[in-house]
Structure 1
Amino acid sequence: MSKVALNRAMPIFRQRKRRKINLPLCECFFAHLRQSFSSHSSSDAEDYRDSDAHTPQSDNYNDARNGFTSDEEEEDDIPLARGIFEGGSEMGSYKQGDATYHILIERLVSSGQFSAMKKVLNRMRKEGRVLQEKLFISIIKSYGNAHMPNEALSFFYEILEKYDCKPSVRSFNSVLNVLVQERLFNEALQFYSDKKAAGIRPNVLTFNILCKALCQCNRVDGAYQLFQEMPTWHCDPDVFTYTTLINGFCKLNRIEEAMSLLDEMQADGCFPNTVTFNAMIHGLCKRGDMIRALKLMDNMLLKGCTPNEVTYNSLIDGFCKQGKLKKASKVLHQMMEKKCIPNTITYSTLINGLCKLGKLDDAAKILSGMLERGCRPNVFTYSTLMSGLCKVGKVQEAIKLWDEMKNSNCETNAFVYSALIDGLCKGGDINRAKELLWEMSEKGFIPNVVTYSSLIDGLCKASNVHDATVVWNEMLDKGHVPNAFSYSILIHGLCEDGNIEEATKIWKNMMDSGCNPDVVTYSALINGLCKAGRMDEAVTLLDEMLCKGCQPDVVTYNTLIDGFCKQNNIYRAMDLVDEMLHLGCDPSFRTCDILMSGLRQCGKIDNAGDFFEELVFRLAKKGRIHGASTVLEALLKKGFVPDIYTWTITVKGLCNLRKVYRAIDDCCTKVYG
């Protein structure tokens, strides 16, 4: 402890190196310092550990404002030797030893010893020493670093009321910044509203702090209102003010307002910087307006702003999301021509875009090129490619990439584990998937509903419904709430296993939990009921589905039509075809196959041609040419020859449709090049 005390004392003597040192006085100082620190440093540390820094902060703004207490009763015996300050002549209003006090306070607050700091301040006040505002600002910032916003707020009011030093806007902004950093946005606004009572005149930094805070919590209109208030305080917005608001508008997809503000900014003589343009370009790319984004980058260059990796990454991401990989690659080449080095985000964005289009080989080449250029992939890079490989069944390649990722000491995450477990389950390697789930839990990554659902789905497809039910119960025991997809998987598995009663029980649990079934869930249970021959219950469930606004799809209708055909109730099956046409659901090849089999089973195959030709006519008349062509193609595959009218109406519709598509393609070519 004596070494610490000596180290703290050294700056005092460095500041006085030009003076003649009083050696007896120094010996007295060091002796007292050793004694004082040995008795006080441990207690001050305990005071800090027991302080409010480690207890929940009060949410009451007035409590913080009025909560400071007088330190008159505190012991003013601080770890300083009185002798070192005695005998020095006064130099104006500044007394010998003030700098030492300031240094000591800064050391105390930087180490979190706020109780000791208060004692030093009290002693300085009693001795009539100079208390400068920069010292108070340092203390406020230290309270912020210690995550003690209420103490920082209380101390601000103590500055005037207790230490007789009128705080300026600098102190005010320091407290404001502490409150915002702790995300106490309402308290920050309340503090700002008290500026008149505190005698503070806000400056541009005050408004910038508040605008940033409001934009962070998506209260952009409030930030814009503050922006409009600035002229009344004779404050001119700077580039940071405009950039914050533009970014806030773009995050909420209010692009036109952001563009208007950018124009206003330049009209007022405030020139946007690279960050401003990047915020606007990112907003346009996020919206998919790539033409304006590219034009804005051209404007950026004309204004003398150099695009950086953030600019190019936004454009590459925008093109990748639209599936325009050639455009994205063009931007990448332009980026490298401008000597702007692509980073991990650049490569990861391209890999993600390629994976979404199924171009996994190209994605793997990008990863190899990335490594060759010395750019280290992150967990997102690896997980994107592994997920893409798993989706197309290339699980072994994904596992190989997984091993490569672990060997490169790249930290993994729950998403990677979930993607691999899903891929292994789809590939039928259930045992390896179980091992990964166990490893995931062992490494502290909590499996989520998606992870469990993947394993349950794999077990059901492997006809191991019993183990799937065990995993389901484990998921519930660990507090995970199943979603509609999870319920659909288990209900479908139970129905396929013939356990319709258990499936119905799970369905009831789903309804009781408040989880709304989707079309997949309804279709799964309808399929189970149809297989069990319980057609009345299946139709009742279809009616319930329609009443709740859930639109049946072609799979739902195919299941019901197949159920009625197997019961030789072909007329009820045809009624369902009429219903699906009325609801805008076109038949598929599977629908046609089911109806053909049903008609043959009932001995009415001779009427099949007439029935399907009428179906083609009805679809074509309603302009549903794809549906009409699907039925016509099914007819041809089954050996039926449509009449000339059926051919004419279908071919005419397809020709008209192709003209429309060709016009759209021509338009896109002219616009995008």
Structure 2
Amino acid sequence: MYLKDGCSLLLKINKPLIPFLLNKKIPNPHTTAYLETSKTNLKEHEVVKKLRLESDISLAVSYFTFVSNSNAFRHTSATYRTMIQKLGNHGEVDGVQYLLQQMKLEGVVCTEELFIDVIQIFRNLALVDQALKMFYRMQDFDCKPTVKIYNHVLDCLLAENKFKMVNLIYSNMKKDGLEPNVFTYNVLLKSLCKNRRVDGALKLLGEMSKKGCSPDDVSYTTIVSCLCKDGKVKEARELADSFQPVLPVYNALISGYCQSRDFVEVFILLNEMLGRKIDPNVITYTMVINSLCDSGNVELSMAILGMMFCRGCYPNIQTFACLIKGFFSRGRIYEGYDVWKRMARKGIEPNTIAYNTLINGLCSNSSMVEAVSFLHQMESKGCNPNVTTYSTLIDGFAKKGDFIGASEMWNKMIRSGCQPNVVAYTCMVDALCRVGMLDQAHDLIGCMTRENCAPNTLTFNALLRGLCQCGRVDWAMEVFASMGKYSCLPNTTTFNELLDGLFRSNCLEEALNLFREMRKMGTEWNLVTYNTSIDGFCRLARFKEALLVFGRMLRTGSKPDSITFNILIHTFCQRGQVKGAIQLMYEMKARGLHPDTVSYTSIISGLCKWNGINDAVNLLEEMVSKSVLPNFATWDILVRSCTCEVDNLHLIQLVDYPQ
């Protein structure tokens, strides 16, 4: 729309409102007491105050318009800026742009601060391209950009990961003859670090110092954090030693060492902080507690909790959630409950995340009755369960084989108006597959697509697992072939499920084709792939191929586990190669693995079958001395062997001493 100079579609009462207000009911300014204005001249600060205090955007626009038409006041840069801020806060982008154009037509000065506000409005609405266009239009309003607005534009682009544009704007800034300040450099450092160009960030850090712009705490924290996230904690520590670290830097270092489970360095850093009179905060302690819990050291995490209290630092809900998760992951349910009760005693009201943590812990320990009771408690306290809550419960019931419980949770979720996501659907697909309802599971994936919830690889893996366990490998291969239609790429788990199903169904040729498919797609083998393949070849009496897979495993640096050795030990014994099985047991011990009941029972079976009972009894004694308890299968093999030997001896005696 073209506007002539001096005309205003916004400020004249007899003109229609601008498009962004067409759907708003505006009161008549002549009949509303709120809009009554005296004939005396208004002051700028009075208009600004009234606009800021008005929470109703429609009334604010009406007041802005009425004031202009009352001839009691001529709008200024300050009143325009206040109205633009208010419109921006309500997402009225068209109105913001309209008022800017109005300012230009009326000759009202547009300051750099105003454009910073507008850019911030666009940023908050995720309209980065609009923000950039507004920046380029500044000079049309006779406003020359300075370093300050360049910094805001750079930060806006960084927030949306527009790394190429960051470099372009920075180049324009230098062309305009503007020197970057520490804020500019910090934005560039963040850009480089987010783009995983930490070497470039370190180089830029040196450039800052050369140009007389000293790096600040933000500069160092940015690079230290990036190095730690990349696993380069040693380099991060060396960099931190070159300056006086502050709390965020220490937190970044502690986070890095927690990720690598290097708790010795974590405690060294904590002591160093205290020595420098830097108090760890709740973030510091919670990171350490979470990492200790994840590594199974729950007792030490409780000691850290005690340290927190001694230092006057009070845990938050995340701290308690970490402890609850730690106890439940170790199966220590009652202690997990105690932490929950302690949280309540401290007056911390549990939120959805805390309830989800507790419910997940209970489900993982098959305590479904208690998990459901906490769901009811959650609802009674006005804390609404979310899709994660329901997904956790569905999964818990599914793993316990309780399809009725899983379906009840699904129905409850739907009735509550909670829209299932891909995780909830996947859990329900798994629940259906576990009870052999394969058609319904397949139909549910079709339902997902109709509900605009695309299945992912995990969804298909759940279905493939169910199909293969039920011996429907033909159907599983059809589903595998259809994954591409849903833009789902198979992962290692997908192939593992199919390989297990094919080997169990004696489909050797199809399994070999699947290996070729894995190689073509560049899919990495993991421990499960190796164990499944070794076991599969052994099942099909292809022992040579099984040994070749084992050799590949060792060559690629993959570490065999007890399952790997037990598969091979069992096969060696079945083939009468008991000495080879015993050598494998020694190799197992050399690798730091402890032979278990399965290992010993396989060799005892081989000795009984091929070498006689005496060696088997000797191995049994060794087994017991190592505190490895024999099971029913172990005793059954020994008893049967002893019985056979007694029977054979009795037959010999009958031959030698006929009656």
Write the deviation string for residues 391-414 of structure 1: whole angstroms up to 9, x where unpaired: 232111111111112222224332
Aligned to 1:317, what secondary structure does the other structure show? helix
Which consecutive residues of structure 2, in runs of 5 or more, have no partner in the other structure?
1-28, 48-56, 88-94, 520-524, 554-559, 627-659
Tell me how far 1:246 sits from its aligned partner: 1.6
The residue number in structure 2 matching 1:667 is: none
Q: 1:201–1:233: 8 Å Cα contact kept in structure 2?
A: no
For residues 145 and 425 of structure 1, do their structure 2 counterparts lie closer, same or farther at Cα, with a shift above 3 Å needed?
Answer: closer
Tell me how far 1:611 sits from its aligned partner: 2.4
State the distance in 1 between where 2:390 and 2:210 align: 56
For residues 40 and 261 of structure 1, do their structure 2 counterparts lie closer, same or farther at Cα, with a shift above 3 Å needed?
Answer: closer
State the distance in 2 between where 1:443 and 1:226 align: 53
Tell me how far 1:264 sits from its aligned partner: 2.1
The answer to whether structure 1 residue 249 and structure 2 residue 227 are counterparts is: yes
Write the deviation string for residues 325-377 of structure 1: whole angstroms up to 9, x where unpaired: 11111111000111111100100111111122121221121111111211122
Aligned to 1:194, what secondary structure does the other structure show? helix
AA of the residue aligned to 2:601:
E
The answer to whether structure 1 residue 632 and structure 2 residue 600 are counterparts is: yes
Q: 1:78–1:120: 8 Å Cα contact kept in structure 2?
A: no
The answer to whether structure 1 residue 197 and structure 2 residue 175 are counterparts is: yes
Q: 2:530–2:550: 8 Å Cα contact kept in structure 1?
A: no
AA of the residue aligned to 2:82:
R
Q: Which segment is superposed worse, 579-588 or 107-116?
A: 579-588
Residues 99-110 of structure 1 aligned to structure 2 (within 5 Å) = 101-110=76-85
The answer to whether structure 1 residue 13 and structure 2 residue 13 are counterparts is: no
Q: Which segment is superposed worse, 341-350 or 150-159?
A: 150-159
Aligned to 2:424, what secondary structure does the other structure show? helix
State the distance in 1 between where 2:489 and 2:60 align: 60
State the distance in 2 between where 1:264 and 1:489 align: 51
Q: 2:192–2:201: 8 Å Cα contact kept in structure 1?
A: yes
Write the deviation string for residues 451-477 of structure 1: whole angstroms up to 9, x where unpaired: 344334433443444434433443465
Residues 514-533 of structure 1 aligned to structure 2 (within 5 Å) = 515=490, 517-527=494-504, 529=505
For residues 394 and 417 of structure 1, do their structure 2 counterparts lie closer, same or farther at Cα, with a shift above 3 Å needed?
Answer: same
AA of the residue aligned to 1:408:
K
Write the deviation string for residues 600-628 of structure 1: whole angstroms up to 9, x where unpaired: xxxxxxxx899263343342464567559
Residues 80-99 of structure 1 aligned to structure 2 (within 5 Å) = none
For residues 228 and 260 of structure 1, do their structure 2 counterparts lie closer, same or farther at Cα, with a shift above 3 Å needed?
Answer: same
The residue number in structure 2 matching 1:611 is: 576
AA of the residue aligned to 2:261:
G
CA-based RMSD of the aligned residues comes to 4.6
AA of the residue aligned to 2:509:
T
The residue number in structure 2 matching 1:69 is: none
For residues 483 and 614 of structure 1, do their structure 2 counterparts lie closer, same or farther at Cα, with a shift above 3 Å needed?
Answer: farther
State the distance in 1 between where 2:459 and 2:112 align: 61
State the distance in 2 between where 1:650 and 1:539 align: 40
The residue number in structure 2 matching 1:663 is: none
For residues 312 and 141 of structure 1, do their structure 2 counterparts lie closer, same or farther at Cα, with a shift above 3 Å needed?
Answer: same
TM-score normalized by structure 2?
A: 0.70
AA of the residue aligned to 1:208:
N
Q: 1:223–1:245: 8 Å Cα contact kept in structure 2?
A: yes
Tell me how far 1:310 sits from its aligned partner: 0.7
Q: 1:360–1:385: 8 Å Cα contact kept in structure 2?
A: no
The residue number in structure 2 matching 1:119 is: 102
State the distance in 2 between where 1:417 and 1:611 align: 52
Q: 2:534–2:550: 8 Å Cα contact kept in structure 1?
A: no
For residues 261 and 9 of structure 1, do their structure 2 counterparts lie closer, same or farther at Cα, with a shift above 3 Å needed?
Answer: farther
The answer to whether structure 1 residue 79 and structure 2 residue 68 are counterparts is: yes
The residue number in structure 1 matching 2:377 is: 404
Count of residues in Structure 1 that have an aligned counterpart in Structure 2: 554
The answer to whether structure 1 residue 236 and structure 2 residue 266 are counterparts is: no
Q: 2:582–2:603: 8 Å Cα contact kept in structure 1?
A: no
Q: Structure 1 vs Structure 2: percent identity of aligned residues?
A: 25
AA of the residue aligned to 1:106:
R
For residues 9 and 334 of structure 1, do their structure 2 counterparts lie closer, same or farther at Cα, with a shift above 3 Å needed?
Answer: farther
Residues 298-313 of structure 1 aligned to structure 2 (within 5 Å) = 298-313=271-286
Residues 394-543 of structure 1 aligned to structure 2 (within 5 Å) = 394-441=367-414, 443=416, 445-475=418-448, 477-478=450-451, 486-487=459-460, 489-491=462-464, 493-494=466-467, 501-509=474-482, 515=490, 517-527=494-504, 529=505, 535=506, 538-543=507-512
The residue number in structure 1 matching 2:147 is: 169
For residues 624 and 409 of structure 1, do their structure 2 counterparts lie closer, same or farther at Cα, with a shift above 3 Å needed?
Answer: same
Which consecutive residues of structure 1, in runs of 5 or more, have no partner in the other structure?
18-36, 46-76, 86-99, 267-271, 530-534, 565-571, 597-607, 656-673
The residue number in structure 1 matching 2:236 is: 258
Tell me how far 1:273 sits from its aligned partner: 2.3
Aligned to 2:348, what secondary structure does the other structure show? coil
State the distance in 1 between where 2:265 and 2:437 align: 54
AA of the residue aligned to 2:165:
E
For residues 124 and 456 of structure 1, do their structure 2 counterparts lie closer, same or farther at Cα, with a shift above 3 Å needed?
Answer: closer
State the distance in 1 between where 2:589 and 2:450 align: 49
For residues 405 and 613 of structure 1, do their structure 2 counterparts lie closer, same or farther at Cα, with a shift above 3 Å needed?
Answer: same
Write the deviation string for residues 192-228 of structure 1: whole angstroms up to 9, x where unpaired: 2111333322211222233234434544444334323
State the distance in 2 between where 1:480 and 1:38 align: 38
Tell me how far 1:285 sits from its aligned partner: 1.2
Aligned to 2:370, what secondary structure does the other structure show? helix
Tell me how far 1:426 sits from its aligned partner: 2.8
